[in-house]
């Protein structure tokens, strides 16, 4: 049975990067992200200096987790790096079958996707482009620009977020800056797909 949701108008404020009304908002700081980083020692160093920068935040409208409905909202990833690695989201798989789309509104980013066999695909996003995450692909977004990377997202309300695979194994690729250029390289900390 689906919950009864009233038809709703939702305002996306691109300047302030908020969604009204919203049902969930979250701010992720370095201390929460550090276990997902390719260079945890770089994260520890920043934290040991008494800093805990905000890496990303999002506002979401999704009043139900019932199937057939859609959750959506705005995410901003701030510019910066942890060691050589650009600021990024934790990344997750959906618990249930469900695609997701990301519409870039501002800045430059990369959508990194990976299937359960460890095959990774990256798509660069600039304002106006949509990254489509098919069913079954884990996904992480990365800010590769100098300003904020802002995007609209939408996914099925009952999809759920599974962080365990990403936390335990990582993504097979990481996005870094080396010698002033962007590189997408094998993740030295990737713990494989052998099981």
Residues that bind ligand M6P (CB under 6 A): 58, 75, 89-92, 100, 153, 161
Residue 153 touches which member of Zn ion, ligand M6P, none, C-beta under 5-8 Å by kind:
ligand M6P
Q: How far apart, in whole angstroms, are the C-alpha atoms of residue 96 and residue 157?
A: 10
Taking CA 165 as the corner, what is the angle to CA 17 and CA 27, rounded to the nearest 5 degrees? 20
Residue 169 touches which member of ligand M6P, Zn ion, none, C-beta under 5-8 Å by kind:
none
Look up tokens 């690729």; give the residue: 173
Residue 84 or 90: the one with the smaller Cβ distance to ligand M6P is 90
Look up tokens 């049902």; give the residue: 23
Q: How far is the CB of 39 from Zn ion (least distance, A)?
A: 24
Per-residue b or e along 82-101, where b marks 16 or more CB atoms closer than 10 Å to that residue's CB: bebbbbbbbbbbbeeebbbe
Q: How far apart, in whole angstroms, are the C-alpha atoms of residue 135 and residue 143?
A: 23
Residue 157 touches which member of Zn ion, ligand M6P, none, C-beta under 5-8 Å by kind:
none
Residue 60 or 100: the one with the smaller Cβ distance to Zn ion is 100
Binding to Zn ion by CB under 5 A, coded x per residue (else -) over 87-106, reads -------------x------
| Half-sphere exposure (Cβ direction) of 190: Cα atoms closer than 13 Å | 16
Q: How far apart, in whole angstroms, are the C-alpha atoms of residue 146 and residue 153?
A: 21
Q: How far is the CB of 72 from ligand M6P (least distance, A)?
A: 9
Residue 108 or 181: the one with the smaller Cβ distance to ligand M6P is 108
Q: How far is the CB of 116 from Zn ion (least distance, A)?
A: 15
Q: Answer whether 111's CB lies under 8 Å from 125's CB.
A: yes
Q: How far is the CB of 57 from Zn ion (least distance, A)?
A: 16
Taking CA 106 as the corner, what is the angle to CA 103 and CA 109, rounded to the nearest 5 degrees? 70
Residue 58 touches which member of Zn ion, ligand M6P, none, C-beta under 5-8 Å by kind:
ligand M6P
Residue 144 or 159: the one with the smaller Cβ distance to Zn ion is 159
Residue 150 or 176: the one with the smaller Cβ distance to ligand M6P is 150
| Interacting residues with Zn ion (CB under 5 A) | 100
């Amino acid at each position: 049975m689906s919950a009864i949701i009233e038809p709703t108008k939702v305002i996306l404020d691109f300047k302030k990067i908020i969604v009204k009304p919203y049902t969930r908002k979250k701010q992720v700081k370095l201390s929460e992200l550090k276990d997902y980083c390719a260079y945890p020692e770089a994260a520890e160093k920043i934290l040991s200096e008494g800093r805990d920068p905000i890496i990303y935040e999002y506002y979401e409208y999704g009043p139900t987790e019932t199937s057939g409905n859609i959750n959506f909202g705005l995410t901003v990833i701030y510019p910066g790096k942890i060691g050589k690695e650009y600021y990024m989201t934790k990344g997750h798989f959906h618990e249930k079958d469900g695609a997701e789309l990301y519409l870039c509104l501002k800045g430059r980013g990369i959508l990194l996707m990976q299937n359960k066999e460890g095959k990774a695909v990256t798509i660069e996003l600039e304002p106006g482009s949509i990254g489509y995450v098919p069913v079954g692909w884990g996904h992480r977004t990365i800010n590769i620009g100098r300003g904020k990377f802002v995007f609209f997202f939408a996914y099925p309300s009952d999809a759920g977020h599974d962080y365990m695979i990403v936390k335990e194994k990582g993504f097979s690729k990481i996005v870094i800056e080396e010698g002033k250029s962007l590189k997408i390289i094998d993740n030295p900390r990737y713990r494989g797909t052998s099981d």
